[in-house]
A and B are shown apart, each in its own frame.
Chain A
Amino acid sequence: MAGKPRLHYFNTRGRMESIRWLLAAAGVEFEEKLIQTPEDLEKLKNDGSLMFQQVPMVEIDGMKLVQSRAILNYIAAKHNLYGKDIKERALIDMYIEGVADLIEMIMYLPMTPRDEKDAKITQIKDRTINRYLPAFEKVLKSHGQDYLVGNKLSRADIHLVELLYYVEEVDPSLLANFPLLKALKTRISNLPTVKKFLQPGSARKPLLDEKAIEEARKVFKF
């Protein structure tokens, strides 16, 4: 019997959080091996587990997968969350790349030098309400369906709702003028697997505060 997938990453969201969301949404139980010291990371590098010497790395189905995009693609396809054909997949991919771009901006905000932070937050808010959220609201409006693609739950819905939670953390008022996105967020959040993941005590990681980043910086020297 196949073991549970095992995730190797730091005890943070970073580039692993979307993978945690997707596995959880797909109802897949997983284990986590947290990297807590530089020695932990060195060990992984030295034993040949990391193809490009980087994490995330996920042990799944007898493979050691790296590159978060490759990992997400595999999980989505395996669990039927990737559309019904290559055209639907292209649409899903287009949407999720946009989601990933904004998630990356938000995710790396804590690493922004203090004197650049305000400008960065302004940019994030601007992109959120002028570039990304309007695009997705328009997609939902154009077909009037409950899900972004093909009238069926796909990874696009999961990744977008993950993003909406982060947007809310930046500033809840950003969602104010996007009724269809708010409805999607509620709908997806009520799916049993997602609802469970949103409970305290799940594998979902919290927002990093300044103190936690300072500590991580000291430990990992970056």
Chain B
Amino acid sequence: MAAKPKLCYFRGRGRMESIRWLLAAAGVEFEEEFIETREQYEKLQKDGRLLFGQVPLVEMDGMVLTQTKAILSYLAAKYDLYGKDLKERVRVDMYADGTLDLMMMIALAAFKTPGEKEENLALVVKKAKTCYFPAFEKILKDHGEDFLVGNKFSWADVQLLEAILMVEELDASVLSDFPLLKAFKTRISSIPTIKKFLQPGSQRKLPPDSHYVKTVRKVLQL
């Protein structure tokens, strides 16, 4: 019997959160090891599991994987969430990459000075409203289907929901001009595996707070 994937990261969203979402959406149970001290991190680097000395780290199927996008692509392919052929896969990749860019801006903003942070987050909301969300609203409108690609649930849908919820934490009204995205949000949130992940007590992490930022800074010596 296969062991559960084991995730190693800080106790927060950062670059691991999309991986947690995808595993959860695929109905895959996983374990987590949380990095809390510099010593833990140095030990990880010394024992050779971090190819480039960095986390996220996911150990599964006999592999020691780092690099967020490598891990996400592997999971998407393994759990059949990557479209049915190359042309569908490139669309999943395009959409997933776009939403990842947006979410990374939010993740990185937490590490800026208060003034810069506010400015960056305001820019994220603006980009979501003027660039990203209109693009996805149009995709849904053009094909009229329930899912972004190939009329079937895929990694792209998981990431878009994750991004929508993250931006809504910054501005609750962000979907007001996007009726199809609102319906999409409700629909994807109701998928049983996702519904479960959205419940309190799941492995979903909270937005970065000062304790998280302090821990990461200390461990990575930023």
Residues of A within 8 A of B (CB): 51-53, 61, 63, 65-67, 69-71, 73-74, 77-78, 86-87, 89-91, 93-95, 97-98, 101, 131-132, 135
Q: Which residue from A53, A70, A73, A132 sits with its C-beta under 8 Å from B52? A: A132
CB of A166, distance to nearest CB on chain B (Å): 17
Provide the residues of chain B in CB contact with A67, threshold 8 Å.
93-94, 97-98
B165 interface residue per 8 A CB criterion: no
Q: Which residue from A65, A86, A91 sits with its C-beta under 8 Å from B90? A: A65
B20 interface residue per 8 A CB criterion: no
Provide the residues of chain A in CB contact with B98, threshold 8 Å.
51-52, 66-67
Nearest B residue to A67 via CB reads B97
B67 interface residue per 8 A CB criterion: yes
Which of these binds chain A: B72-80, B117-125, B175-183? B72-80
CB of B131, distance to nearest CB on chain A (Å): 5
Interface size class of B (residues with CB under 8 A): 20 to 34
B129 interface residue per 8 A CB criterion: no
CB of A116, distance to nearest CB on chain B (Å): 16
A74 touching B86, Cβ below 8 Å: yes
> In the complex, what distance in Å separates the CA atom of A87 from the CA atom of B73?
11
> In the complex, what distance in Å separates the CA atom of A110 from the CA atom of B70?
28
Residue of A61, A70, A77, A78 ringed by the most chain B CB atoms within 10 A: A70
16 contacts between A and B (CB under 8 A): A52-B98, A65-B90, A65-B94, A69-B93, A70-B97, A74-B89, A78-B86, A86-B77, A86-B78, A89-B73, A90-B70, A93-B74, A131-B52, A131-B53, A135-B51, A135-B52
Nearest B residue to A66 via CB reads B94
A77 touching B86, Cβ below 8 Å: yes
B52 touching A93, Cβ below 8 Å: no
Residue of A53, A67, A95, A132 ringed by the most chain B CB atoms within 10 A: A67
Which of these binds chain A: B58-66, B202-210, B214-222? B58-66
B135 interface residue per 8 A CB criterion: yes
A94 touching B53, Cβ below 8 Å: no
> In the complex, what distance in Å separates the CA atom of A104 from the CA atom of B74?
23
Nearest B residue to A51 via CB reads B135
Provide the residues of chain B in CB contact with A70, threshold 8 Å.
90, 93-94, 97
A51 touching B74, Cβ below 8 Å: no
Q: Which residue from B78, B89, B131 sits with its C-beta under 8 Å from A73? A: B89
B90 touching A97, Cβ below 8 Å: no
